[in-house]
Copies of this chain bind each other. A is one copy, B any other.
């Protein structure tokens, strides 16, 4: 698969910058320096400039960035200047939690269907979104023009779900199941490992302890 030379950490920071810019825009601020963005989100000004430089020239030296312009530029880079239709596979606790996650809607993601194979769940609505049987996966994805699928099924079923998605027009998969999946080249796959977040925490806690212990 073709990959970009832009570090993933840069994309994550762009996402953070865009949220911060939305926030200062709501306060009526029109111009902002890299130093102010840096202060607002807790990185260095050089990092902000470096991240933005990947995508061309934005600011005016000595003046800074136009808040709205920069916001929309980043939103476009992130591919968020359009609404993405998302289906969720798995109407268990995780799938249900994801279907209600406010953060998705805020950023232009629209959940258009949830799929499960438990007969008693079919036909119900979760947060206004209908639960469909797995047999209707391809039909609903195509009817709703869904581009992204979120896999929220137990690990042992994840590859089977991925195989079924590969037969649809889905372009990207976000996989929450702790299992390595194989998908065809034309599908963009991203795995979410929730433990990594805890490990970033324990790394810092262990480091603090070693400092305290004087090592």
Contacts and interface: CB of A to CB of B under 8 A. Distances in A.
Interface of A: 2, 4, 7-9, 11-12, 15, 76-80, 84, 86, 92-94, 96-98, 100-104, 106-107, 109, 147-148, 155, 171-172, 174, 178, 188, 190, 192-209, 211
Contacts of A205: 79, 147-148, 171-172, 188
5 contacts: A84-B202, A86-B198, A94-B94, A188-B204, A190-B200
Contact of A174 (B86, B97, B101, B201): B201
Nearest to A201: B172
Copies of this chain held together in the complex = 2
A199 B15 contact: yes
Contact of A102 (B15, B93, B155): B155
What does DSSP make chain A's interface, helix, strand, loop or mixed? helix
A88 B7 CA distance: 32
A98 B94 CA distance: 8
A6 B188 CA distance: 29
Given A84-B202, A104-B195, 12 more contacts: A15-B195, A78-B203, A79-B202, A79-B206, A86-B198, A94-B94, A97-B97, A101-B178, A101-B194, A148-B202, A172-B205, A188-B208
